[in-house]
Amino acid sequence: MKTNEAQTLRHHGVPNRELIEHAEQILDQFTRQAVPFAASVAPSIQSFLDLVVAHAGLDENDDVLDLACGPGVTTCALASKASHVTGVDFVPAMLEQARNRQQEAALPNITWTQGDATHLDFADQRFSLVTTRYSFHHLQDPKAALQEMARVCRIGGRVLVADATPAAEKADAYNGFERMRDPSHTRALPREELQALADGLPLRLLAVATYDFDAELAAILDASFPNPEHADLLRPAIAQDVTEDRLSFRAHYEGEVLRVIFPGTLLVWERLA
């Protein structure tokens, strides 16, 4: 990890070596994934972006925080409807891709900043909408991230979380595969567990939506950087799952092309007093 990222974690009172090592994995994985991920993800998720915008209740007065923004795909979609969007990510290489996307889209109402999802450098009740997409399964403490999202959201504002949600009975197998594919993966939560993260927080559930992200396996693997001992195990595991369906990927062939479907859930809460 670069010195400034390690210092940021220690500054926020995170001396635990396990947390620092996991942050190093995230930085390593997503620095390498930044360019291929930015190039491959946008065309395939337009229906998901439409779902986010539809459920976010956006208008031209909204001041939005997009947490773990990656290459800025969701951020830019939100910025096309909102007054201003702040995109936060831990990985500088992802923010570089996000700035490129902003420039291509000619969206002046976006600010980018590097930050830690569980220790946000924003005042209480700063934003009217706080969102994150596909980040919680990389965090060791997603509850802390949701708590921070609620803290910086205005009373009456909305908090939106979208993430992969494998079937409960297949979650262990799903997460085992994903940890092989991406060592920064921690645990994707089944929908009920993801929803339960809000228990005890000042959040009232407004909406739940499920969605599928259908992707060609080869494109997913091309943008992945597994440990060498796992690289040759990934495609055979998915190919086997076409008939077994034990991983919650609903693997299938279209002609000779092997595809997977990432199951997902979008949750929207209202921030209460």
- The per-residue pLDDT for range 160-193, each reduced to its tens digit, is 999 999 999 999 999 999 999 999 999 999 999 9
pLDDT at 37: 62
128 backbone dihedrals φ, ψ, rounded to 5°: -90, -20
> For residue 133, is pLDDT > 70?
yes
Contact predicate 192/267, CB 8 Å: no
pLDDT band at 256 (very low <50, low <70, confident <90, very high): very high
Which contiguous run of DSSP H or E holds residue 34? helix 17-41
Would you state the structure tokens that stand for residue 252, as one six-digit string? 């299938």
Q: All domains of the chain, ordered by start, with CATH?
A: 3-168+184-214+262-271 (3.40.50.150)
Cα–Cα dist 62/44, whole Å: 26
* Other CB atoms within 10 A of residue 234 CB: 17
2 backbone dihedrals φ, ψ, rounded to 5°: -65, 150
Contact predicate 181/226, CB 8 Å: yes
> Minimum mean pLDDT among 6-15, 118-127, 195-204: which range?
6-15
pLDDT at 11: 40
Average pLDDT over residues 212-223: 92
